Amino acid sequence: MVTITIGEFTRVEGNGEADIIIENGEVKEVKLKIVEGPRFFELLTLGRYYYDVPDLEARICAICYLSHSVASVLGIERAFNVEVPREVMLLRELGLLGEFLESHALHLYLLVAPDVFGYPDAIKMASKHGELVKEGLSIKAFGNYIREVIGGREIHGINVKPGGFGRYPTIEELEKIEQNSEALLRFAKRAVNVFADLKFYGAKAEHFVATNSYLYGDKLIACDEEVFDYYEHIEEKTLPYSFAKQSKYKGDIFMVGALPRVMLKSEQLTPLAKKLFEDHREKLSQGYVSLNNLAQAIELVYALEKAKEIARELLDKGLSCENVPVEVQEGEGIGYVEAPRGVLIHHYKIDSKGNISYSNIITPTALNHAIMELSLYEEAKKNYGSLDEKTFVQRLEETVRAFDPCISCSVHLVKL
């Protein structure tokens, strides 16, 4: 038996490894390992007063901190039966769109594009494709700008609170968001062309899972038309070789992320994004995980169109800047958010004093662990023996990257 280990994946946010186990000249098994220390976020919040919890949990991940804050806030508000007005929800959506822009741009332009054009990294790619890198960076910077305005900081801001915000955006900021969304749209359209040409690789998931609204939800949906709460059909188990747990939907391997989103929720896309989706529908329906990249590019278009739409609506109606009072009561609530990488779940029980008595966080990378492993297995099987070892390893790295995994986020799931 031989084992090929792919060491720290480069250009992936976090420390992951994969063991490719070869027996009698054939790929027998692939083990995807998450090797960095767990941070026990659920336990950190146990017994803690609810108010600081969203800020603490933002620290799970820098790339999608706002998704964590919003999921946490939604879970807490549901536990307390707090209803926030449309204005607050729109601003939260705007923040989440900023996060899509930031995260998808980082992933597509800096991590995936070098694979597409055959460069070891974005810095080296920039010498030939400087324009493209610049376009990506400007989309990313704009996403970060939105995160700063809505979230309070580009990374780990603490402006999103149960009941509303510390500070509401100014008219100038909303106008700037509207204008920049419009201006950047042509870059995003170009991205769709660039990433439409990607090869197919990785596995096909048996199921797609997403939240019921485009950016968040009160239930999950799946491609078999099930509408459900996560604990009804998603089961997790621990693995002997990894800090992350593995999940199955009704016992099968499933996928969350941009591809499941556009496939399950194309009706909710904005006009141009919808059109681009229709143009590529046939291709996307093939279901290979590498198509996640194309779906992300379409979502860049969606995010810009939608951000513009929201900014305009808020400008037309004017902001009332009023938070809803939060009254502490005993309760239970789940927040479902579409983080850039897919479904993110924060589930809490809160006691009558406002302290957290139960907490469960399930992240998209954890939900995708099984399909990621399967994809590696299939790619390894297909290519072992026919590619030299260096190219072989490179191909597997590309496969992992298609998921846009964020390994730091995958080690934070717990059942208490």
The entry of ligand SF4, another protein, none near residue 381 (CB within 5 to 8 angstroms by kind) is: none
* Residues of this chain, 91-120, that bind another protein according to CB under 8 A: 120
Of positions 46, 62, 89, 90, contacts ligand SF4 by CB under 6 A:
62
272 near ligand SF4, judged by CB under 6 A: no
Q: Provide the mask over 329-368, with x wherever binding to another protein is found by CB under 8 A and - wherever it is not.
A: ----------------------------------------
- Which residue lies nearer to ligand SF4 by CB, 56 or 315? 56
Distances (CA, A) of 325 to 48, 85, 164, 331, 367: 20, 12, 9, 16, 34
Q: How far apart are CA 253 and CA 351, in angstroms?
A: 35
Q: How far apart are CA 353 and CA 75, in angstroms?
A: 16
- Residue 120 Rama label (left phi>0; alpha psi -120 to 50; beta): alpha
The packing angle between helices 171-196 and 292-317, to 10°, is: 160
- Asked whether the beta carbons of 314 and 174 are under 8 A apart, the reply is yes
Shortest separation between residue 219's beta carbon and another protein, angstroms: 27
- Asked whether the beta carbons of 76 and 348 are under 8 A apart, the reply is yes
Residue type, 215: L
Q: Give the burial string for 170-181 (b: 16+ CB within 10 Å, else e).
A: eeebbebbbebb
Shortest separation between residue 11's beta carbon and another protein, angstroms: 7
240 near another protein, judged by CB under 8 A: yes
Of positions 28, 156, 219, 349, contacts another protein by CB under 8 A:
156
- Which residue lies nearer to another protein by CB, 53 or 314? 53
59 near ligand SF4, judged by CB under 6 A: yes
Shortest separation between residue 153's beta carbon and ligand SF4, angstroms: 7
* Residue of closest CB approach to ligand SF4: 59
Piece of 38-46, 195-203, 206-214, 376-384 that binds another protein (CB under 8 A): 38-46
2 near another protein, judged by CB under 8 A: no
Determine the size of the site formed for ligand SF4 (CB under 6 A): 3
Q: How far apart are CA 27 and CA 29, in angstroms?
A: 6
140 near another protein, judged by CB under 8 A: yes
DSSP sequence for 245-294: -EEEETTB-EE-SHHHHHHH-GGGS-HHHHHHHHHHHHHHTT-BGGGHHH
Of positions 15, 213, 266, 270, contacts another protein by CB under 8 A:
15
If DSSP codes are grouped into helix, strand and coil, which group holds residue 159?
Answer: coil
Of positions 3, 5, 10, 179, contacts another protein by CB under 8 A:
10
Q: How far apart are CA 293 and CA 220, in angstroms?
A: 22
- Residue numbers at the binding site for another protein (CB under 8 A): 8, 10-11, 13-15, 35-44, 48-49, 52, 55-56, 59-63, 65, 120-123, 140-141, 144, 152-159, 161, 166-167, 237-243, 245, 408, 414, 416
